[in-house]
Structure 1
Amino acid sequence: MQVGFPFFINLACTGVIPTRAMSPHVPITHDEIVADVARALTLGVQMMHLHARDAEGVQTADPEPYGRLVEAIRALPGGRELIVGVTTSGRRDAGFESRARVLDLDGDAKPDMASLTLSSLNFVQSASVNAPDTIRRLAQRMRERGIRPELEVFDVGMANFARVLLSEGLVQAPLYVNVLLGNIAGAQPDLLQLAAILAALPSGCIVAIAGLGRFQLGANGLGLLMANGVRVGLEDNLWFDRQRSVEASNESLVQRIIAQAALWERPLMSRTELRNQLGMTI
């Protein structure tokens, strides 16, 4: 049990699916995303998971808007200590080449981390296609570029594939892992299912727990109980309550998890401490 130990928050503020029609609070434009990140920084958030959108508000793999976002975040108070991650999502494009372009950013535009989903999976209305060869090539490119993989695990099989990548030398310990619970075709926010995933992961992983939709609050609670941190944000859940009567914002979701953590006497760790645990320099 992790009660009493400092924890971290990974804020997934935009995602692929949420639109302005779904929620007025989801940040879509460059300025909106930067503003949400700035508010998160003042609350003590240590890690950021970014999805950029094009002029029509659609998820894009174009590295240019990601580079501008990362540069703008670095310029914020506390922005250089923040761990900034970008997506290589396979939900709109399964190919390696377009997904890998964001990994070639340099200088102040270069991200610290990039997502790496460890298998194909179905969501309610779409699929995320991640062929084994594509996963390996993305992992190899991240290693070559000095970008830490943000491993995404939805079930026990994906946890096992993390072991495979580690044995093949495509990823290096300590591994960072998001365990995402509540997907229709994945593990549910159940203590037994989470325990099976944690047992299947390589030893020494730094783990955040996320919950999709109405499962976010409960899954974050499991994260506070069983893991190093939590992932929270409008990418995963647009509502503050299970009855869907109160619209959430990224700020309100972060404030709630901090309040929840206080009951478990889990303070926020510093950004420097998280970087040290992950072996990252500023």
Structure 2
Amino acid sequence: MNRDVIITCAVTGAGDTVGRSPHVPVTPAAIAADAIAAARAGAAVVHIHVRDPETGDPSRAVELYRETVTRIRDSGVDVVLNLTAGMGGDLVIDADDPLKPVDGTDLVNALERLPHVEELLPDICTLDCGSLNFGEGNQLYISTPDMLRTGAKRVQELGVKPELEIFDTGQLWFATTLVEEGLIDAPPLFQLCMGIPYGAPADPGVLAAEVNLLPEGANFASFAIGRNQLPWVAQSILAGGHARVGLEDNLYLSRGVKATNEQLTERAVQIVQDLGATVATPDRAREILGLTERSGA
């Protein structure tokens, strides 16, 4: 069991959730406000995506990240910033012509997924460690070994900590290979993502198997989506890891009750404390994760 728990709040994500809850933040101001509220509620880390303010669709626009991050940094609230670098990996194919991408495709190379990271230098950015059949239909998430090596090398050069996003056991195998090749600085940070079709199911046995495959000295967190999110806070802690909540992965506080990011963070804090563990502060999170201090951040 982990008794010194880092809580991450993933505040908006890239999923089709805006129309399903009035609490999903869309504009940079709203995303930043939710991140600040989650930090005040006990999240040591906030995980940030941005969205088109007009449509609510996911975006890779650097100016939207810039405004969001500036608002968080200028708030005076201490929090560890974790920016997604997974946008730009979506491929949707035509069922009749698999070589033809269709609407919904947003596929760019490894370095084109990083301009906001290069400019803003967050504490952490994500690295999605493999390709995946992403749900039903003909959508795939693409992240090849060569792409990942290129991205990992650039993130390492920037001095940003990569959070290695693991959606299935083969991805964990490859991420461990990146560690062995020296492309990931110690201590490595893994995020074990459970219940996302069609990756690793939200099953305690699968989580235990993945934890057993982690390299020595690694830090890890784990989350599950939907109704499993809050129970999985306890599951991850009992397995020795940290926890993640937030509207990216789950819209409900309880059956039929729409949540806010602040409420989900508060509930995670309660679960941590009920287990007899301590909620890590941002400074303690930086110590655990081996993060580099950044001037002006």
Would you call these one fold, judging by a TM-score over 0.5? yes
Deviation at 1:22, TM superposition (A): 1.1
Which is strand-richer, 1 or 2?
Answer: 2
Please state if 1:103 is matched with 2:100. Answer: no
How far did residue 224 of structure 1 move? 1.9
Q: 5 Å matches for 1:254-265? A: 254-265=265-276
CA deviation profile, 1:153-191 (whole Å, cap 9, x unmatched): 122111111111012111111011111111221222222
Give the structure 1 partner of residue 100 of structure 2.
none
**Partner of 2:238 in structure 1?**
225
- Distance in 1 of aligned mates of 2:197 and 2:16: 18
Aligned residue number for residue 81 of structure 2: 84
> Counterparts of 1:142 and 1:121 in 2: how far apart (Å)?
22
Unaligned runs of 5+ in 1: none
Aligned residues with identical type, % of pairs? 34
Task: State the TM-score, normalizing by the size of structure 2.
Answer: 0.87
Q: Distance in 2 between matches of 1:40 and 1:28?
A: 16
> 1:216 and 1:58 mapped to 2: Cα distance?
23
Per-residue deviation, residues 101-138 of structure 1 (Å, max 9, x unmatched)? 22221xxx321111101111123243221111111111
C-alpha distance in 1 between matches for 2:108 and 2:149: 12
RMSD of Structure 2 on Structure 1 (CA): 1.6
Q: Deviations over 1:179-230 (max 9, x none)?
A: 1111221222222111110111211111111111122123222112113310
Gaps of 5+ in 2: 91-104
Q: Find 1:134's aligned residue among 139, 147, 151.
A: 147
Alignment correspondent of 1:73: 72
Equivalence for 2:128: 117
Partners of 2:161 and 2:251 in 1: how far apart? Answer: 28
Corresponding residue of 1:10? 8
Report the Cα distance in structure 1 between the residues aligned to 2:106 and 2:240, rounded to whole angstroms: 31
Amino acid at match of 1:192: G
In 2, the alpha carbon distance for the partners of 1:18 and 1:29 equals: 15
Tell me how far apart the structure 2 counterparts of residues 213 and 94 of structure 1 sit (CA, whole Å): 27
TM-fit CA distance, 1:77: 2.6
Q: Partner residue of 1:58?
A: 57
Deviation at 1:240, TM superposition (A): 2.1
